[in-house]
């Protein structure tokens, strides 16, 4: 179970330069199998790396199992909003998000995505070297941010990608709110959310203007009397979707 209080947190959070399973999980799986107990950030936890068990847990979500998040995690991702999401809301959000990012809509966006990729490839061809992961990350993030909120870095003083990068760096860190990685994480989220809130307020002040992006859909949904979407939750949703564009999609692109 590791050291007193912190358990095996240091081993679990240790960085590694590979897309494979982390050395910590590999070591624990070799020693105990696909289901084992440990202690992380002061909490006793059970870790499952078994596909069938994990599938069963997700299938029984809300009945036999209930989602739980550490206090630091809920603080990072928007306070109580994460905890308030139940199975019904998940389905609602999935259908809502698919209205813009579903398979059929993505097919329609393929020509634009291809043109965007060609533009970046032409830009990279004039450079001596290119850090592939960071460059792909930038390309996908700006394309997604454009579809989400019509974001154009050249027109805004806010460097949204830098805010998200600070957030990601501190996502897996000790939750101590003093100058350091975790502090930068919170500040990165705060700045990004401030920009998103300002953008939402500007749109609401000019309802006659339409941009054809995800934020337009959010505003229309917020106008409905029976909508379960709140302003705070909508901003958190945009934040998380943008985060996925910066963090997960570039890795999948490289692996592909």
Question: What is the residue-wise DSSP string for 148-162?
Answer: HH---GGG-SS-HHH
Same domain, 105 and 194: yes
Question: Do 214 and 160 fall into the same domain?
Answer: yes
Q: In the chain, how many domains are there?
A: 2
- The predicted structure's pLDDT at residue 183: 82
Give domain status of residue 238, yes or no.
yes
Residues 145 and 250 in one domain: yes
Instruction: Identify whether 162 is part of a domain.
Output: yes
53, pLDDT greater than 90? yes
Note whether 14 and 91 are same-domain residues.
Answer: no
What is this structure's pTM? 0.69
Supply the pLDDT for residue 250. Answer: 47
The answer to whether residue 46 sits within a structural domain is yes
CATH number at residue 199: 1.10.630.10
- Residue 214: inside a domain, yes or no? yes
**Stretch 200-208: mean pLDDT:** 91
One domain for residues 228 and 136: yes
Cβ–Cβ < 8 Å for 50, 40: no
Pair (52, 94) in one structural domain: no
> Residue 45 belongs to what domain range?
9-63
Tokens of 20: 């494979």
* DSSP summary character for residue 75: H
Same domain, 42 and 118: no
Banded pLDDT at 102 (limits 50, 70, 90): confident
- Please, which pLDDT band fits residue 79 given cuts at 50, 70 and 90? low
Using the predicted structure, report yes or no on whether residue 248 has a pLDDT greater than 60: no
Q: For residues 185 and 73, is the Cβ–Cβ distance under 8 A?
A: no
At 177 the pLDDT is 67
d(CA 38, CA 43): 9
Q: Please indicate, yes or no, if residue 207 is contained in any of the structural domains.
A: yes
């Amino acid at each position: 179970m590791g050291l007193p209080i912190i358990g095996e947190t240091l081993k679990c959070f240790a960085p590694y330069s590979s897309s494979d399973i982390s050395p910590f999980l590999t070591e624990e799986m070799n020693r105990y199998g696909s289901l084992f107990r440990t202690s992380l950030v002061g909490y006793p936890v059970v870790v499952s790396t078994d596909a069938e068990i994990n599938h069963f847990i997700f299938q029984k979500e809300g009945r036999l199992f209930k989602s739980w998040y550490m206090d630091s995690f809920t603080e990072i991702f928007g306070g109580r909003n994460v905890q308030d999401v139940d199975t019904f809301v998940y389905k609602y959000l999935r259908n809502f998000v698919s209205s813009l990012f579903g398979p059929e809509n993505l097919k329609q966006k393929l020509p634009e995505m291809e043109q965007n990729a060609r533009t970046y490839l032409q830009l990279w061809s004039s450079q001596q070297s290119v850090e592939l992961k960071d460059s792909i990350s930038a390309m996908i993030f700006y394309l997604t941010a454009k579809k989400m909120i019509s974001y154009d870095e050249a027109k805004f003083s806010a460097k949204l990608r830098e805010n998200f990068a600070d957030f990601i760096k501190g996502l897996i860190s000790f939750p101590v709110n003093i100058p350091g990685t975790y502090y930068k994480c919170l500040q990165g989220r705060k700045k990004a959310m401030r920009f998103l809130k300002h953008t939402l307020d500007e749109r609401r002040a000019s309802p006659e203007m339409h941009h054809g992006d995800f934020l337009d859909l959010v505003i229309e949904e917020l106008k409905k009397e029976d909508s379960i979407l709140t302003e705070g939750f909508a901003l958190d949703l945009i934040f998380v979707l943008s985060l996925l564009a910066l963090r997960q999609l570039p890795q999948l692109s490289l692996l592909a």
